[in-house]
Amino acid sequence: MARLKAESRDAAILLSPFFVFLAVFMIYPLIASFYFTLNDLALSDLKPVFIGIANYIELFSDKLFQQALLQTLAYLTFHTAVGVPFGLAIALLFNEEFRGRGFARACLLIPWATPPIVAAMLMYILLNAGFGPVIYGFEMVGLLPTQFTIFGNPNLALLGLAFVSLWKSSPLFAFIFLSGLQNLPSEVVESARVYGASSVAIFRRITFPFLKPVLAVNCILSGILALSGTQAFDIVIGITNGGPGYRTYMLYFLAWNQAFPWNRLGYGSTIAYVVTIIAVVFALVLLKIWYRRK
């Protein structure tokens, strides 16, 4: 009994940093930011004025919030519907034996390993209408008009950001798919081949069903990245700063703007909470679909 007590104490001591970390960096901010959502609060005076759910009600009449919400959902849909299949395609390609595969896989990591704001600046430079070599290259071969602008065009800017995000996220999705493919029993695939199954049939009947759990993980990850991850903030602030107009404002970017530059910490926290709720709902829906099918 005494030893058990001693072991419990030791465990508690060993676990305490985790508990402290959890309390200070997760639980406290969650509670504090929820408290902020119920108050009119600014960084400039830090005197909260309790206003109940007024911040939440304001969301319904805030045109910018509604625009940002729609843009975020469009961004999320594109990010998931295009990014995840693209990651799967890369994974299937890199799962094949070919010369230099190790090197190619290492290169694949580069976009993901690049810090998000650096990736944003890199893409801003590469795709800039004035000095971007990629745009210039397309202009040289006559595929684009002179000084073609992606990020300055209200109809293209959000799509441009989504492609940048895709460039950054797809390798991660691919690696997660690859880890799934590595666990695919080779004898099953070989047996199918022996019985004359085509590659498409093998993919449809064996590979894809096997990858479904990984697919669910990737979809959830994609959603969270697009909603509240680095893709939703760094890429926006690094490339368009929300413009032109408000065309690339997304919820996370709007939450940050409200809380800090616009000095409305309470309202910014409210938007951040809405982002969190959407992310949780998105994950739950995906999981539900997945478990129902299972």
Partner 1 sequence: MTDDISTGKMKNLSEQKGTDRRRFLKYGAGVVVVAAAAAAGYYALQPAPGPPTPTTTAATTLPPTTTAPPPVTTAAPITLNFYTTGHMGFMYDVGRLGWKPIERWNAAHPNIKVKTFIDSFFDVYTKEATTFAAGTYAWDVAYEWGGILNEFAHYWTPLDEMGITLDPKVVDDIVPYARNAVFWKGHYYGLPRMLEIFTLMANADILDAKGVKFPTTYEEFLQACEKVNDPKNGVYAFEVGLKQGYLFPPYLCFLHGNGGSLWKDDAQQTVVPDSKESIRAVEDMVHLFKNYMPPSAIEKIAFVEASTDWYNGQMVFGLFYGWPTMVVTDPTSKIKRVYNWLWPGKKGVVRSGSQVACEGYGIPKTAKYKKEAWDFIQYLASREVQVQDTLGMFWKQENEEPIPSFWSYLTDDRFKAYPYNIIVRAQLAALKYKANRYERPAYMSYIPAIEAEVSNALTGAKKPADAMKDARESCDKILEKEYSTYGGGYYDPWPDMQKYASRIDDLINAIPVEDQYKFPF
The residues of the shown chain that bind partner 1, judged by CB under 8 A, are 3-4, 7-9, 11-13, 15-16, 18-20, 23-24, 42-46, 128-131, 146-149, 151-154, 240-247, 257, 260-263
Q: Among 181, 211, 171, 203, which residue's Cα sits nearest to residue 83?
A: 171
Residue closer to partner 1 (CB basis): 146 or 186 = 146
Residue closer to partner 1 (CB basis): 147 or 276 = 147
Residue closer to partner 1 (CB basis): 8 or 179 = 8
Q: How far apart are CB 141 and partner 1 at their closest, in Å?
A: 18
Q: How far apart are CB 17 and partner 1 at their closest, in Å?
A: 9
Q: How far apart are CB 282 and partner 1 at their closest, in Å?
A: 28
Q: How far apart are CB 257 and partner 1 at their closest, in Å?
A: 7
Residue closer to partner 1 (CB basis): 162 or 215 = 162
Contact at 8 Å (CB) between 252 and 68? no
Q: How far apart are CB 46 and partner 1 at their closest, in Å?
A: 6
| Bond before 145 cis per omega within 30 degrees | no
Q: How far apart are CB 234 and partner 1 at their closest, in Å?
A: 13
Residue closer to partner 1 (CB basis): 14 or 200 = 14
Q: How far apart are CB 128 and partner 1 at their closest, in Å?
A: 6
Is the alpha carbon torsion for 102, 107, 108, 112 positive or negative?
Answer: positive
Residue closer to partner 1 (CB basis): 149 or 169 = 149
Q: Among 75, 40, 59, 42, which residue's Cα sits nearest to residue 242?
A: 75
Q: How far apart are CB 34 and partner 1 at their closest, in Å?
A: 17
Residue closer to partner 1 (CB basis): 132 or 223 = 132
Residue closer to partner 1 (CB basis): 80 or 128 = 128
92-116 CB burial, b ≥16 within 10 A, e <16: bebbeeeeeeeeebeebeebbebeb
Q: Among 165, 169, 127, 129, which residue's Cα sits nearest to residue 145?
A: 129
